[in-house]
Amino acid sequence: MSAAPSTAMQHGLQNCGACGLLSLPAPGVEKGHCPRCAEPVAFRKRDSIQRTWAFVIAAAICYIPANVLPVLTTTTATGTDSDTILQGVILLWSPTGWPLSLIVLIASIIIPSAKIAVMAYLLVTVQRGSIRNNEQRIRLFRTVEFIGRWSMVDVFVDTFTAALVQLQPLMSVEPGPGLFFFAMVVVLTMLAVESFDPRLIWDAASEQGVHYG
Amino acid sequence: MSRSNEFYNRPVADLSLVSCHNCDLLQRLPPLASGGSARCPRCNEEIRRRREDSLHRTLALAIAAALLYVVANSVPMLGLTVVGREASTTVFGGAMQLWADRRDTVSALVLFTAMIAPALQIGFMLAIVLGALRESPRRWVGVLLRHHRLTRIWSMIEVMMLGVLVALTKIADYATVVPGLALFVLGALVFVLAAMQSGFDPDEVWERIEWAADADVASEAAGTVLPQA
Ligand SMILES: [Zn+2]
């Protein structure tokens, strides 16, 4: 049988997020600093849940225009064509182009929506004080943290397509308004991950002295 | 005690005491051999890893990355020809075209993630390693090291590479695409940056650095007893 986990917080110690040094806040000090690297330290990230919720909700709102508005507008001699992200995925889909189509589908549609859903799930379970599936939840968090940057792929695709295809009067490509909202989804979900404190996942278990190992 | 020390915490007496940054479990770090690593027994997060000859390797890779970065941003990255007309662009050119198309926010984001953040990532790393290799590393090394993590998160060269490759394939349907030299240099830069980052051992630098708090705060360490399992 293993011992109940005891955390640094239960011992009154703060872990520096920048250099990892454990330190004890001086009595009566509201905002302590790490004595080694001077980073502000606290038991948990400040207002982590509220701030993460704000970023997640803002990202979810931007996700709608990001998918509905066109991200690219192509003008040729025969007329003007506007494509949303999903239309771009469909356009790329061909016997030879499907791997790239799949990359864009995963990076710009599946990753951002999964990230919003996972962060909301983590927030809800933390607020409920859940002590179940802690290991799976921390793994989910590490995964969204790790793959989140890849949702920028389509922003780069559209940027360089528009930068290159400027062949007036034959053809020109311009970025559409959807690109702004899509870029916002990427930034907001990254900020949501940054403001979330993974230690909150374990706090309920630590308080109840749940065994582990 | 000096006034400025009032907002510094007191460190624990035993510096082998650590807590997991993922789950806050308090634990004692065993002595690690070079190349060895320690994981959290509760959440399996890697707490610490000792890298072999970290500083000199990181310095070599950071210098290589700096050179590749300069080349990658000064020669054309991709071009295309269609019915006798040619066009080519660089990373900067891509961002500037967005600006011209009045997509300022996206343009700034592309410029930041594809050019500014990678430059900061390389520059910070060079300064950190050079500073840490000195006899007694100064506090500014720690300041750069504190912020290095952010430059790494927002530096997206590898994501941009994938984006460029998708764009090339897309455009190949209606024009002849000519990959530029910068594209290959960027490909090499992606690998050098990954190697630079994975071989870097921040703990080695933290151990060498001058403390932010005065010596008397550091020596006036707090005792904490870790309960035995
Ligand atoms: Zn842990």
Q: Which residues surround ligand 1, an ion (CB under 5 A)?
A: B 20, 22-23, 25, 40, 42-43, 45
Q: Is the pLDDT of residue B219 over 80?
A: no
Average pLDDT over residues B184-204: 93
Q: Which residues of B touch A89 (CB under 8 A)?
A: none
Average pLDDT over residues A123-146: 91
- Can you give the pLDDT at residue A4? 59
| Span from the CA of B45 to the centroid of ligand 1 (angstroms) | 5
Q: Give the whole-number percent of chain B exceeding pLDDT 90.
A: 36
**CB contact (8 A) between residue B212 and residue A37:** yes
Q: Does A162 touch chain B (CB under 8 A)?
A: yes
- Which residue in chain A has the smallest CA separation from B148? A18
B87 touches B178 (CB < 8 A): no
How large is the C-alpha radius of gyration of chain B? 23
pTM, 2 dp: 0.89
In terms of Cα–Cα distance, which of A7, A17, A11 is closest to A42?
Answer: A17
Lowest-confidence pick of A71-75, A92-96, A124-128: A92-96
ipTM exceeding cut-off 0.90 for this assembly: no
Enumerate long-range contacts of B173-177, CB under 8 Å, 24 or more apart.
B174/A171, B174/B82, B175/A165, B175/A167, B175/B80, B175/B81, B175/B82, B176/B80, B176/B81, B176/B82, B177/B78, B177/B79, B177/B80
A211 touches A4 (CB < 8 A): yes
Report residue B154 as tokens: 């927002």
**CB contact (8 A) between residue B142 and residue A179:** no
Average pLDDT over residues A201-213: 71
DSSP class per residue in A57-115: HHHHHHHHHHHHS-SEEEEETTEEEEE-HHHHHHHH-STTTHHHHHHHHIIIIIHHHHH
